Amino acid sequence: ETGVTQSPTHLIKTRGQQVTLRCSSQSGHNTVSWYQQALGQGPQFIFQYYREEENGRGNFPPRFSGLQFPNYSSELNVNALELDDSALYLCASSLPGMIMNTEAFFGQGTRLTVV
Amino acid sequence: AQSVTQLDSQVPVFEEAPVELRCNYSSSVSVYLFWYVQYPNQGLQLLLKYLSGSTLVKGINGFEAEFNKSQTSFHLRKPSVHISDTAEYFCAVFYEGAQKLVFGQGTRLTINP
């Protein structure tokens, strides 16, 4: 039990819609990262938040956006959904430090299906 | 560009046999290396990590990995596998310069009785 919880666990959306995924980080962790894992692939880094600010981003378009709240929970928002956005979305929390993500704890993920 | 390559997409082995899952990464001055395991419908669990020091690192569930800087490799090994080791295994490299954790595409380990 890592203490990182994500909601919902499964979601079906229609192309063009918007979606919000949520993540509650492990107690004491103030850094949250989001990853997209397409079927049969490794996770791809979307972005990272530290103290409510984005401080790292992967190769994802601006329609992928996020928020981090004062309690360090986080949201991932995706606008104008495309079929290729269908994937497992993973949230990971960690303590900041010189070596980020050295103890990243992952949630169980949200499986998004776009039809 | 930062990249991580897991050379085998699937590895079938018999129970109690040894196994090696291979991982190579694009070279960089400062990297930190990880292996994660993913069971069906689950998130990722950290198996082991290399940050510095001894190049042979031991993790949970009897797994170990060896960091080879000259070969830019970080292969995962277990001397005797169990049915419960059936899962997807991911090698990941944190590139300090880019502040980015990059995953390989995964290796599916299947244990046959």
Q: pLDDT by residue (tens digit) across B56-69? A: 999 999 999 999 99
Chain B hits for A105, CB-CB cut-off 8 Å, are: 46
Q: pLDDT by residue (tens digit) across B70-98? A: 999 999 999 999 999 999 999 999 887 77
Q: Residues 6 or more apart from A13 whose CB is under 8 A from it?
A: A19, A81, A112, A113, A114, A115
Token look-up 């303590």 returns: A95
Find, in chain B, the residue whose alpha carbon is nearest to that of A93: B44
Residue B16 reports pLDDT greater than 70: yes
Smallest Cβ–Cβ distance between A42 and the set B41, B43, B105 belongs to B105
Smallest Cβ–Cβ distance between A106 and the set B6, B44, B51 belongs to B44
